[in-house]
Chain A
């Protein structure tokens, strides 16, 4: 299907199935879904509300166990790892950006970014260096001493992205990262994610029902009813600020 031949995919998921049971009602969310995702690409997962985007993200990123199927991330069979191994895997390889920014109110921007880094035992100097570099990368170097209460929504999301990027993950998952933001801030955020994919070779998977983001993606997966309906590679991904064709 894919137009370009990439080497080993960053993520390869086979035959995923997931259903949720609430009371006596069981809802099938994913039904035999398979997908491969490459490093260095921003893939947009789009589709109507409730079609299973977030659920797929959670399964691929090692947060929610599928009922059936397998996920290989960077060659690791994610759902065969035990809890501790899975946590280590997330620590070393996976970054997350959520719809809510989930920043600690008491910490300033550098500390927000340093906090998850501190679990990598890099040493204080290297931790600080990486945190400041990550903040520069999202254009917030000048905001590093401010707490969340003193930042705009867009700036908060950029701090959250810096927090996810600072540990240099090969896999970055973003769930509706722009839905709480105005269109300009949303644009900035998706540009940063895109740049991260290009510059660091990171696999970025972004779930969103915001159609404005489509123009910024390298690849768009359209989901409906727990299945991938369409898989489109954008041959000439739009540069930042360029309107979608």
Chain B
């Protein structure tokens, strides 16, 4: 069997290059926009992702971690009774109103009340034990470095939070929230700032002896009965709920879908035009083959195989391009995040572009009429 499709691709690679580039850039655009959106919206789940612990208990039906409400204290005992659970700690959630000393008006903030023990779970990934110990001082707070200008404060200075004077004892990285400023305080401070609110915590975080068991433990700890007063999720499930909620709450999810459609369309137009041009350029050769008895289906297979190779080259090129862009973004502190599902979805779309373009190019083969060779 003569490998017509491959030999032609190699011999006339310049002719097919634009198609592969179109596929590669489409793939890159799809993946990078997805990574950016996920990166930004992962900020909504920073409380979960920046903490250790595989299990979260919170108010039933909580769609997003920032809409947490107080749950009964017996949840803590319930979690501790499971043999897999090694450690449980409360996580307080208080909405706040900040007044800096300069005339910046008021800023709405989220106050997280956390355990101050050296091995505490909440924000363990971004607040090292030494920094955390500073929270033991009454009315001490920690914020993200990037939020300082918004709050109009420097380390060691004070501001007014929910009417109380609080002092900034330190800053960290990776605490930025979506749509507000995150402020971390001790559980005691948070309780004091929660004027007139429910003193009970909104969440309990638990660490398991074997992190692999998270799904099973969450399933057996979640009280299934009606009228339950709290639910139990794995950390990743609560994070996914939160990101998902924000994606659709803000309309960003629809934006991603819309943008993907546009990229798909543009990629298909360019790729199919290039392939159609290539087929048109060899139309008399295809017509000769048809005259000699090669079926239209056999010729279509050649064109589809070419489309497949073009798509594969584009997929590889797009993968390399995306990796470069994502590494660059990460180096510049641009929030990006990507999951295996996201990569697979982009790859599927890219192969869809290729397939559709191939089918459009096959239509051009209709012009391969051998009677036209006789004039």
Contacts and interface: CB of A to CB of B under 8 A. Distances in A.
Interface of A: 54-55, 57-58, 61, 63-64, 84, 87-88, 90-92, 94-96, 98, 100, 102-107, 111, 114-116, 118-119, 124, 147, 163-164, 167, 175
Given A111-B2, A111-B7, A114-B2, A54 B374 contact: yes
26 contacts: A54-B375, A57-B374, A58-B371, A58-B374, A64-B371, A64-B374, A87-B295, A90-B291, A90-B292, A91-B292, A96-B370, A98-B284, A98-B374, A102-B285, A105-B8, A105-B11, A107-B2, A107-B4, A107-B7, A111-B7, A115-B4, A115-B289, A116-B289, A116-B292, A116-B293, A175-B373
A107 B282 CA distance: 13
Contacts of A116: 289, 292-294
B62 interface: no
Contacts of A100: 284, 373
A102 B292 contact: no
Nearest to B292: A116
B288 interface: yes
Contacts of A105: 8, 11-12
B285 A163 contact: no
B62 to A, nearest CB: 62
Contact of A118 (B1, B290, B373): B1
Nearest to A110: B2
A163 B295 CA distance: 17
A164 B2 contact: no
A120 B289 CA distance: 13
Interface residues of B, number: 26
Majority-rule SS of B interface residues? helix
Interface string B245-272: 0000000000000000000000000000
B295 A102 contact: no
A119 B289 CA distance: 10
Interface centre among A61, A87, A124 (most CB of B within 10 A): A87
Interface string B336-375: 0000000000000000000000000000000000110111
A-B CB proximity, top 8 nearest: A91-B293, A106-B11, A102-B288, A116-B292, A54-B374, A106-B8, A106-B7, A63-B371
B294 A63 contact: no
A102 B298 CA distance: 18
B77 interface: no
A147 B298 CA distance: 23
Interface of B: 1-2, 4, 7-8, 10-12, 282, 284-285, 287-295, 298, 370-371, 373-375
Given A119-B298, A124-B1, A94 B7 contact: no
Given A57-B374, A107-B7, 8 more contacts: A61-B291, A64-B374, A102-B285, A104-B285, A106-B4, A115-B289, A118-B1, A167-B293
A55 B372 CA distance: 10
B2 A102 contact: no
A163 B12 CA distance: 22
B370 A63 contact: yes
B293 A103 contact: no
Contacts of B8: 104-106
Contacts of A104: 4, 7-8, 282, 285
Interface centre among B10, B288, B298, B374 (most CB of A within 10 A): B374
Nearest to A97: B288
B296 to A, nearest CB: 8
Nearest to B282: A104
Nearest to B370: A63
Interface centre among A64, A95, A102 (most CB of B within 10 A): A102
Contacts of A118: 1-2
Contacts of B290: 87
Contacts of A91: 292-294
Contact of B293 (A55, A102, A107, A119): A119
Nearest to A166: B292
A114 B373 CA distance: 21
A153 to B, nearest CB: 16
Contact of B291 (A54, A92, A96, A124): A96
A102 B4 contact: no
Contacts of A96: 288, 291-292, 370, 373
A182 B80 CA distance: 97
Nearest to A54: B374
Contacts of B295: 84, 87, 119
Contacts of B298: 119
A84 B296 CA distance: 10
Contacts of B2: 107, 111, 114-115, 118
B292 A103 contact: no
A63 B11 CA distance: 31
A147 B12 CA distance: 13
B371 A102 contact: no
A95 B11 contact: no
B63 to A, nearest CB: 58
Contacts of A87: 290, 293, 295
Nearest to B369: A63
A102 B86 CA distance: 77
Contacts of B289: 115-116
B367 to A, nearest CB: 14
A102 B283 CA distance: 9
